Amino acid sequence: MGLANKLVNYYIEKNPRQGMWETTEVTPYSLFKNYTEGKEKGLRLTSFGWNLMRKDFTHYSHQLPTGFRLNAGHLIGLQHHCSWPYYIGAGYLRLFGEADNIEVRLVNNDIVLWLNSLSTLGQGKF
């Protein structure tokens, strides 16, 4: 069972129907934007998934520079690299993986440099 399914089961067992969940069923597709059944990757959170996970798990916020836009290479790199969920929104990249956060810190918190390195890896250019 992949991490996405484990997280869905965690939230269903924690509170089967409560509050904001009444209108949204908790499924891998409601938590993750790029979920693909049978694959371990695809952990980009939807806003619904972000609102659930931020209350229960430690996350690390990294502000994106003004005017910076993620391109397809960045998204592919994040999808292939991150083994924990992440959320992109409102000028921030929020990582739930401690190892991913440490990598960003190792490049002097330069989120653009880190994303560009993932973009290169995602495209198979080493």
Whole-number average pLDDT of the chain: 85
> In this prediction, what percent of the chain has a pLDDT beyond 90?
37
- Structure confidence by residue, pLDDT tens digits, 8-44: 888 878 765 555 555 677 888 889 998 877 776 789 9
* H-run or E-run covering 122: helix 111-122
Average pLDDT for residues 86-109, to the nearest whole number? Answer: 93
Q: Which residue has the higher pLDDT, 60 or 12?
A: 60
Q: Which residue has the higher pLDDT, 69 or 17?
A: 69
In b/e form, how buried is each residue of 49-86, taking b as 16+ CB within 10 angstroms?
bbebbeeeeebbebebeeeeeeeebbbbbbbebbebbb
What is the pLDDT, as a whole number, of residue 105? 93
Q: Which residue has the higher pLDDT, 4 or 122?
A: 4
